[in-house]
Amino acid sequence: DIGPLSLVGKFVTIVMMCFSFVALPMELNRLNRIIQNKSIYALSSYRNPPNCIQVLVTGVVNSASIHTFFKELLHEDHGPIETRAVVLAPERPSAPMLSLLEN
């Protein structure tokens, strides 16, 4: 067995053990909260189907501007082409934005 022999060594060992009993669970809880806060959109990926035009929309977008953009993009004057759009935004989509994207 290996153990501290001096009084200072024993004290340091006790402090380290107490610290690990307190700090380790706190840090694991913090790590768990960080992992749970990961956005579902951060792990998403997209594959474009063959023979399909892809449009990438980026920037600060809201439901009104996206509605206007999609209305023009998908207008019947452009013909029957298959078009897919991917929207990249710095924040999660709002409820009106989700409703618009799902329709």
Residue 92 to residues 38, 61, 62: CA-CA distances in angstroms?
A: 11, 11, 11
Q: What is the pTM of this model?
A: 0.49
Contact 86, 57 (CB under 8 A): yes
The predicted pLDDT at position 43 comes to 66
How much of the chain exceeds pLDDT 70, in percent?
96
Which pLDDT tens digit goes with each residue over 53-66?
A: 888 888 878 888 88
